[in-house]
Chains A and B, each alone.
Chain A
């Protein structure tokens, strides 16, 4: 979230699209209800289903699953055509006036530089025109045909209300009504908050769904404002924290790019990652990359990381191409992976195409499951009738299952979706012999270290030299770990402007990432968390919930990254002269000397407005990007592409170009393309989702939640039910090209057929949550059905739009 949960109450319009917060985040959704109650805010829901969020909405508009960009592109067109933009904001804070390389083109659904064979783009032309100093050229009049404004206007002119109705199946008048609601927030003192979740990410165009809304929020001037922003309502309690700590291959803690084969030494690596400002005077925050990266190497390899050995750059493994759940299971399926450690993850249930995942697990030599619960994954080898048809004798995988503690049984911190890090305390011992994840990881690591010391083996230096200053070596305490990743000074940190002034004494905890140095004198395990445990102690344990501004900022509650800032890009909440766009909801204002107000400034505190330091400090441009340059896989402007399994013959936007039917830059593995179904055999659009009674695949293990929603069901509209002779409560079989599930039919008025370009398209709604292990009635795993393809940028699987058929079981 750029903003935070409580801030939703400051909105004038809450647009829920790509999410269902009433069901998935009820306690956060309270702030939407609060905005309705106290600000007379409106709540608008756009979704394939009339869900429980829609049940309390002021307006609901349906759209076909997988057509969000067509809808949002239509909104952009509406805002431009009707002059409903916050012009001063767009002029000052976006790249609307930037000039783009004349070689940049878009035609027949493809951007310039497409390579069909590689399914990717040569992005050379997706860039700005630069002047002799390397700064981007601009045209403040927005008249140049190559300026971002003109290119964007032309790109979205095709997204007419008629086209939206044709692609999305949304009635034209409903679409226009939503546009009217949104357009009202173009006023400087009105804000819309965008609440989205996996309903946007879990598409082959997931990232572009979100970008499209980001563009809308910029056009309306809603970024950085209280009650505005782009708010990803994330999944697990610590999904934000685990993402921040980069438990994935492409990055290292704090979103630092991990080195790849192209990075032969630390010097060239740091140079490449250190961005150059694209406009004069901008903060260009990534110029600090070397400070963050060197401090991480120092945190991990301590004295062994010296200037002479490039701060042990070679200890850090280099990334070998793609690495994400889909690619990992594909590699495993091909027999290229022998071992698999599975920590609190249930991939058999939660990864696409259960059959492929199950076959992949059966090819492993060993698998280690660390979990508090007996998961489906841990028993992938065990037959459970038709729910899991396997023959254990044919599965050679050695499976270890290690019991771990649950939240109530450990101390430590979680980071919520609003980036607030909050400490929690241990209430009880785990059952039986269960252990904390940290103890398990530490013990395993120390055991390996001992074996390498004794017997030698492949490159053991990074193992032997890893810093390990924990009082009880096999039980690092959460306090020790937090202090470590916060970071400390190894030598006195002095003021760069005055070397006699010591800012942090050697040995002290660092108060902020501003103190990090690239010369090896500081350590920090995650630069964005720096400050969470300063010399003042554990700031995540702060529990003063006072809210003097009334905006819900609660700056003394826990600690938000970065530097306790609650609303990102908050400099944009004030106009270029430093006056708040809406004085009634002041986030930041220029006091004459420094930035003041009700948040930690997302700006150099003494940067006077006349200096023209722009609010989007992480971007070398200083402004936000309506045109994304070369940073997205499939293009600088979001374009509508059909899901990989679509009921349509062609992309209605580009009916003549089969290459532009689905995301041209999405990765599809051999065998998975063949496993896609077609509309002839599988005529219905399926979409999977969560129910409020359950949390993923956990609460099927919790009795009281099993009572609330005891059995797997699928939802269909009355019209389809009638066609198929299905009555509510009947058992039905749902098939995709990858398998089938059986479940109970819920027949509802809340799912309607869509008219897509004259073709009737039905939706089948399929909740996840169920499986063969748990207190709920034994059931099939929904992901038996889903396709093994992901978003082109994140590789998040396309769970939200694929094809099925349905019949009475």
Chain B
């Protein structure tokens, strides 16, 4: 195995349990929103390191650009102007994959080995196994993965797993001019976050706190927020994210059912499914269901 630093914790659509004997360090990336100047160095460093380039777009009346995550823009800054009690705040949040401990994308992914969770916490997409079904998009409580229009495969932040593999910090972390993104063991990052929160409280942000949402088992990308009581202020950061009930359900009770009840039906369209991607099939099936519902 090429990657002893990245032991596998779990793989999508694979029932074989992963080896668990080795204890490796859990890592985390901490985004200190209070130190972020929205310079987009992280966006550039990400594109540069990962050799992706989004189209040159347009200005749509805001600073955000690219305006949303795409298969080529794995992280974007989201700018929000908040004015309360005569005080203006320009809240700037770096958005991207949160690398959940309990990853909804992985759970919902039907392609074996397309999504991997390493024991350090990184959730990585392996495009060679991806069938482009888009279920990871549905399964993600943070609306992060995007399907490429070019190759119909899902892309998102890898936490620079190729850099981690050689003990280098992710490209965005290294670049960040103000130390608004820091990287280390999850424990260290929590300790550091504690200091930052204490500092913010001294500066009058009574509700400063850490965003490490338990609904997804905690994340390996965490935020220090000045208004931790209202994450929604930061361009709609979910208050209490959790995996969609649909994903939990299929992972639990319905998976065998799906296999047996619909396996036959699927066989006929399998090759079509693999080559052209599943969305059409899914749509076809859905349409049939809808017809049935209507009747």
Task: Tell whether A and B belong to one assembly.
Answer: yes
- Residues of A near B58 (CB, < 8 A) are 710-711, 744, 777
Which of B47, B54, B177 has the most CB atoms of chain A within a 10 A radius of its CB?
B177
Query: A30-B177, A704-B48 are known contacts. Are A55 and B61 too (CB-CB below 8 A)?
Result: no
CA separation between A729 and B59, bound complex, in Å? 7
Q: Across the interface, name the chain B residue whose C-beta is closest to A22.
A: B37
CA separation between A713 and B61, bound complex, in Å? 8
Chain B window 34-46, contacts with chain A (Cβ cutoff 8 Å), 1 for yes, 0 for no: 1111111101100
Chain A, 7-58, CB within 8 A of any chain B CB: 22-23, 26-27, 29-30, 33-34, 36-37, 40, 50, 52-56, 58
> Is the C-beta of A730 less than 8 angstroms from some C-beta in chain B?
yes
A729 near B44 with CB under 8 A, answer no
Closest CB of chain B to A551's CB: distance in Å? 19
- Residues of B near A744 (CB, < 8 A) are 58-61
Q: Across the interface, name the chain A residue whose C-beta is closest to B48.
A: A704
Identify B177's interface contact among A26, A50, A708, CB under 8 A.
A26
A26 near B59 with CB under 8 A, answer no
The A/B interface has a contact count, at CB < 8 Å, of: 122
Query: A22-B37, A27-B177, A30-B177 are known contacts. Are A750 and B90 too (CB-CB below 8 A)?
Result: yes
A704 near B61 with CB under 8 A, answer no
Which of A693, A708, A711 has the most CB atoms of chain B within a 10 A radius of its CB?
A708
> Is the C-beta of B151 less than 8 angstroms from some C-beta in chain A?
no
Chain A window 726-743, contacts with chain B (Cβ cutoff 8 Å), 1 for yes, 0 for no: 011110000000000000
Chain B, 52-72, CB within 8 A of any chain A CB: 53-63, 65-66
CA separation between A749 and B86, bound complex, in Å? 11
> Is the C-beta of B92 less than 8 angstroms from some C-beta in chain A?
yes
Chain B window 206-242, contacts with chain A (Cβ cutoff 8 Å), 1 for yes, 0 for no: 0000000000000000000000000000000000000
A50 near B179 with CB under 8 A, answer no
Q: How large is the interface on A (under 10, 10 to 19, 20 to 34, 35 or more residues)?
A: 35 or more
Q: Across the interface, name the chain B residue whose C-beta is closest to A54.
A: B90
Identify B61's interface contact among A56, A703, A729, A777, CB under 8 A.
A729
CA separation between A711 and B43, bound complex, in Å? 17
Closest CB of chain A to B118's CB: distance in Å? 28
> Is the C-beta of A747 less than 8 angstroms from some C-beta in chain B?
yes
For the residues of B in contact with A, the DSSP-based class is: loop
> Is the C-beta of B83 less than 8 angstroms from some C-beta in chain A?
yes
Q: Across the interface, name the chain B residue whose C-beta is closest to A60.
A: B88
CA separation between A23 and B89, bound complex, in Å? 17
A33 near B65 with CB under 8 A, answer no
- Residues of A near B254 (CB, < 8 A) are none
Closest CB of chain B to A165's CB: distance in Å? 17
- Residues of B near A40 (CB, < 8 A) are 199, 202
- Residues of B near A27 (CB, < 8 A) are 177
> Is the C-beta of B149 less than 8 angstroms from some C-beta in chain A?
no
> Is the C-beta of B291 less than 8 angstroms from some C-beta in chain A?
no
Identify B65's interface contact among A708, A727, A745, A748, CB under 8 A.
A708
B39 near A56 with CB under 8 A, answer no
Chain A, 686-725, CB within 8 A of any chain B CB: 692-693, 703-713
> Is the C-beta of B288 less than 8 angstroms from some C-beta in chain A?
no
Query: A748-B81, A750-B90 are known contacts. Are A692 and B37 too (CB-CB below 8 A)?
Result: yes
Closest CB of chain B to A197's CB: distance in Å? 15
Chain B, 90-128, CB within 8 A of any chain A CB: 90, 92
Closest CB of chain A to B169's CB: distance in Å? 16
> Is the C-beta of A775 less than 8 angstroms from some C-beta in chain B?
yes
B61 near A730 with CB under 8 A, answer yes
B53 near A22 with CB under 8 A, answer no
> Is the C-beta of B203 less than 8 angstroms from some C-beta in chain A?
yes
Chain A, 185-227, CB within 8 A of any chain B CB: none
B90 near A26 with CB under 8 A, answer no
Which of B37, B38, B180 has the most CB atoms of chain A within a 10 A radius of its CB?
B37
- Residues of A near B73 (CB, < 8 A) are 707
Closest CB of chain B to A753's CB: distance in Å? 14
Closest CB of chain A to B200's CB: distance in Å? 10
Q: How many residues of B contact A (CB 8 A)?
A: 40
CA separation between A50 and B56, bound complex, in Å? 27
B90 near A707 with CB under 8 A, answer no
CA separation between A705 and B60, bound complex, in Å? 17
- Residues of B near A665 (CB, < 8 A) are none
A692 near B83 with CB under 8 A, answer no
- Residues of A near B66 (CB, < 8 A) are 707
A26 near B41 with CB under 8 A, answer yes
- Residues of B near A23 (CB, < 8 A) are 37, 39
B37 near A749 with CB under 8 A, answer no
> Is the C-beta of A348 less than 8 angstroms from some C-beta in chain B?
no
> Is the C-beta of B269 less than 8 angstroms from some C-beta in chain A?
no
A729 near B60 with CB under 8 A, answer yes
A704 near B44 with CB under 8 A, answer yes
Identify A50's interface contact among B47, B88, B180, B199, CB under 8 A.
B88
- Residues of B near A678 (CB, < 8 A) are none
CA separation between A70 and B44, bound complex, in Å? 40
Query: A727-B61, A746-B63 are known contacts. Are A55 and B38 too (CB-CB below 8 A)?
Result: yes
- Residues of A near B168 (CB, < 8 A) are none
A29 near B177 with CB under 8 A, answer yes
A692 near B39 with CB under 8 A, answer yes
- Residues of A near B36 (CB, < 8 A) are 56
Chain B, 254-293, CB within 8 A of any chain A CB: none
B53 near A707 with CB under 8 A, answer yes
Identify A710's interface contact among B38, B48, B59, B92, CB under 8 A.
B59
- Residues of A near B48 (CB, < 8 A) are 704
> Is the C-beta of A646 less than 8 angstroms from some C-beta in chain B?
no
> Is the C-beta of B178 less than 8 angstroms from some C-beta in chain A?
yes
Identify A746's interface contact among B37, B56, B61, B199, CB under 8 A.
B61
Chain A, 744-782, CB within 8 A of any chain B CB: 744-750, 775-777
Identify B39's interface contact among A36, A52, A747, CB under 8 A.
A52
Query: A30-B178, A707-B55 are known contacts. Are A55 and B37 too (CB-CB below 8 A)?
Result: yes
Closest CB of chain A to B155's CB: distance in Å? 16
CA separation between A747 and B66, bound complex, in Å? 18
Residues of B in contact with A (beta carbons under 8 Å apart)? 34-41, 43-44, 47-48, 53-63, 65-66, 73, 81, 83, 88-90, 92, 177-180, 196, 199, 202-203
Starting from the known contacts A26-B41, A55-B90, A707-B65, 13 additional A-B residue pairs (CB-CB under 8 Å) come to: A26-B37, A27-B177, A33-B35, A50-B90, A60-B88, A704-B47, A707-B54, A708-B65, A710-B58, A745-B61, A746-B63, A747-B61, A749-B83
Q: List 27 A-B contacts (CB under 8 A).
A: A26-B41, A26-B177, A30-B177, A37-B35, A37-B179, A40-B199, A52-B37, A52-B92, A55-B37, A55-B38, A55-B90, A55-B92, A56-B34, A693-B40, A704-B48, A705-B44, A706-B56, A707-B47, A707-B57, A709-B63, A709-B65, A710-B58, A729-B60, A746-B63, A747-B61, A748-B81, A749-B83
The 10 closest A-B pairs by CB, nearest first: A728-B61, A729-B61, A26-B177, A22-B37, A55-B90, A711-B59, A744-B59, A692-B39, A33-B178, A749-B81
